[in-house]
Each structure stands twice: as structure tokens, then as C-alpha cells.
Amino acid sequence: MKKANNDKDTIYTDKTIFKNISHEKFIEHIINGMQDWVRVIDIDDNIIYINRAMSKALKGSFIGEKCYKALGRDKPCKNCTSRKAVFKGVTQIKEEIIQNKTFSVMSSPIKDDNGKVIAVVEVLRDISSLKELHKKIIDQNKKLKNELYMARKLQESLLPKDFSSDAVKYSYVYKPCEALGGDFLDIFEIDSDNIGLYIADVSGHGLLASMLTIFIRASINKNQKSPSAVLKQLFKEYNKTFNGNTEKYITVFYAIINTKDKTITYSNAGHNVAPILFNTYTGRFDLLRMPGIPISNWVENPDYQEKQITYEKNERLFLYSDGIIELKNSQNKQYGEERLLDILLKDTSPPESTLNKIMEDVSRFTRLSDFKKICDDITMILVEF
């Protein structure tokens, strides 16, 4: 490295290959090697320098001419960044259409030793291809948003809406953290004495996860009265359909409510939060824990077990995914099961009101009124017998 003194400035250069060229010519060679257009304009809008790329593109040197005339115009541009650079003394940026192309124009003031602006250097870069690419990305994003909107509407249309029973009341919350959720739930009639109920959580989020929730809805055997058999069949159908071509897995808790015998028979495929059977009047509750392999390609022949528990009139069954209990506040503290259970055991209002109170408490805890900002789906269903 060698130092080249230029008035008060010290410029570091390695001029080994330019040893016979003056410092001024050295700088000019650099600027002329640029593909960007470069020109210098005095404070009266006259061109006092133009580089080779710009001169060649505009077919002329235009030294001494007004800056706007070099662009084929009869008067100054409406948004003249060079004049703004002179007036404000700082770099100005804009976009300009020249020869049917879009240029990014950066105008930077040149100052003397006293800080007075004496000229402006303009660097014009052709960004036409970037603008076209940007437009294509925007158009593609609009198309994708429309498709995601339709996919979400399809997913929401599959949630339980028409099911009703004299034996139970129910309400649910379904809030995906993205446009499409990886959680799903359903409640339906199997026959006059039996009601099917499940909650599922697909690993990850987005389009593939949502498509797997639709797969669950279509593949669940709504005639089978053994929960473990339903999960076994779902496992086989999953591996038959995807044949190991996805790393996604699905956790499912499946229960069958027999309203005649007042029993709940249940089985679990890896769902990591235990549903709660509880009585708000006595404070008694049972966690319906059950191990099980998720619906996946991890093993060849999973063994799903099932258990049975009885319920009494006015008791409630609460199913949920881990999205709600893993929510964190600004102190990095999780919402947790205890806070959730505290509301469930104290609130005797109808299921819909209870779930609303839970969501209000979550909002206070996280200080989030917009649940689109959460990092996981919130899904829960409350059934009252």
C-alpha cells in the first residue's frame, strides 16, 4: 500500500499496475470501469463530468450542458435529487425512468474544505430487471395469499359446525398462528349412543401441515367404536399414503363418549398434553394420560392402548394442544397448565364463556391482543355432559 497525498486527504492505493498514471487518471479509470452511470453536476445544473458508460448510453459527452437536457428533457426534473443534495447537504435517492428503463439515482454533495457544497455526483444504476422481478414476486405473493385464503376457508369449513346432542354441550377455539394451522379437532355422532371426539397436532405449520389436518379429517374411521383401532388404522393409512415421503408427524388424542353408559374410552397417538375430565362443583379432576407413538413413519407396527373412565352429569372434558400452555410473556414465563386448570375448575359458565375467559386471560398474560403474533396454534375444545 502506498499513500497518495491529495490536499488534506490521505488516500490509500496500490498503484503497482498504474505506476505511470497520475492519481487523477487512476480515479478516472476506476469510474470509467463502472457499469453504473456516473456524472458530476455543478450547483447551476451544468454537467462537468460524465463517465464512459453514461456517455456511451446517451450518445454524447454533454459537458457544459444542463443535466436534464442530457436525458432528453426541456426542463429540470420535478423531483430533482441533485438540487436537494445541494440544499440539504446530504445524499438523496430516487427512482427515475430513462429510455424506458428504471434507474436508481443517488445524488451526493461534493463539499470544499469549508463544508460548502460546490457540486453533486450522481450515480445512476439500472434496476429495471430488479423492478420486474419485484413485480413478479408481488404478483406471485398475491396469488399465493389468495390460495392460502381459500385453503384456510376450506380448513375452517371442516371444523365441527352442525353437530348437536342432547347429551353434551360444547364449544371450541381454533386460532392458527399462521394463515393455515397444523392443529385440528372434530366432534361427531357415531351412533345414537356414541360420540367421537379428537384433537390433532401436526408438527410444524403452513400449507403441508394444514393439508395433513385435512388428511386426518378424511381418514378417521367414524364408524369404528374402538379408539385404539381408529389410531392403528390412521397410522397405516398415513404410511400407505405418504410412503415415508414426509418428515411430518401427527399427534392425536381420540375419545369415544358413550352417553348411555356415561363412559369415555380413549387412546393416544403421542399427544403430549393430557385432556382433563373435571367437576367445577367439587374441584375433582382426572388427567387422561396415555402413552402412544405419533402417526408417523418411525416404527412399523405401533401398539395403541386404550382406557375407559366414567363421567357424571355436569362434569366437563377439556382437550387442547400445547400451543396455549407454551405461550410466553415478556419475562419468558410460560402460561402453563396450572393457570389453565385454575380457570377451568372455578368457572361454571357455559363452555363458550369459559373458553372466552381463558383467551382473555391469555391476552392479559402475554399482552397480546392480536393472536396472529403467537408462535404456535391455539386449539381447544370444552365438552360439558
The amino acid at residue 241 is T
Is 71 a member of any domain? yes
For residues 278 and 350, state if they share a domain: yes
Q: Is residue 303 part of a domain?
A: yes
pLDDT on residue 18? 59
Residue 372: CA count within 13 A, CB half-sphere: 3
All three cell numbers of 368: 397480546
- Does residue 26 sit within a domain? no
Does residue 242 sit in the same domain as residue 353? yes
329 belongs to a structural domain: yes
Burial label, 109 (beta-carbon count in 10 A; 0-12, 13-18, 19+): buried
Q: Are residues 288 and 247 in the same domain?
A: yes
Cα 121 from Cα 41, distance rounded (Å): 6
Residue ending a domain, among 105, 126, 147, is: 126
Distance CA 334, CA 323 (A): 10
Cα dist from 241 to 210, 235, 299, whole Å: 16, 10, 16
Do the Cβ atoms of 175 and 377 come closer than 8 Å?
Answer: yes
* Rounded CA separation 94/92 (Å): 7
Taking the alpha carbons at both ends of the chain, their separation in whole angstroms is: 85
In a domain, 180, yes or no: yes
249 plus 320 within the same structural domain: yes
Identify the segments of the chain with pLDDT beneath 70: 1-20, 179, 368-375
- How many whole angstroms separate alpha carbon 225 and alpha carbon 1? 84
The H-or-E segment that residue 256 falls in is strand 250-258
How many structural domains is the chain composed of? 2
Cα–Cα–Cα angle for 253, 306, 224, nearest 5°?
75
Q: How far is CA 32 from the centre of its chain?
A: 44
Bridge-based pairing of strands 194-202 and 276-278 is unpaired
Nearest to 384 by CA among 246, 235, 276, 269: 276
Q: Looking at the domain assignment, is residue 100 inside a domain? A: yes
pLDDT of the residue at 196: 98
Question: 188 by DSSP, 3-state: which?
Answer: strand
> In this structure, are residues 30 and 18 in contact, taking their beta carbons and an 8 Å threshold?
no
Task: Decide: helix, strand or coil at residue 62.
Answer: coil
pLDDT at 373: 58
List 169's β-bridge partners, or say none: 384
Half-sphere exposure (CA, 13 Å, Cβ side) for 112?
Answer: 6
Same-domain status, 206 and 329: yes
Cross-strand pairs, 277: 286, 317
- DSSP for 333-356? -B--HHHHHHHHHH--S-HHHHHH
- How far CA 9 is from CA of 3, 41, 291, in Å, comes to 10, 22, 74
Evaluate whether residue 83 is within a structural domain.
yes
Q: What confidence score (pLDDT) does residue 9 get? A: 52
Tell me, what's the pLDDT at 180?
A: 76
Whether 39 is in a domain gets the answer: yes
Residue 89: CB atoms within 10 Å: 12
> Domain of 202?
158-384
Pair 209, 321 in one domain:
yes
Pair 221, 349 in one domain: yes
Q: Which helix (H) or strand (E) holds 125?
A: strand 117-126
pLDDT of residue 222: 95
Q: 331-352, pLDDT tens digit by residue?
A: 999 999 999 999 999 999 999 9
Residue 191: predicted pLDDT: 96
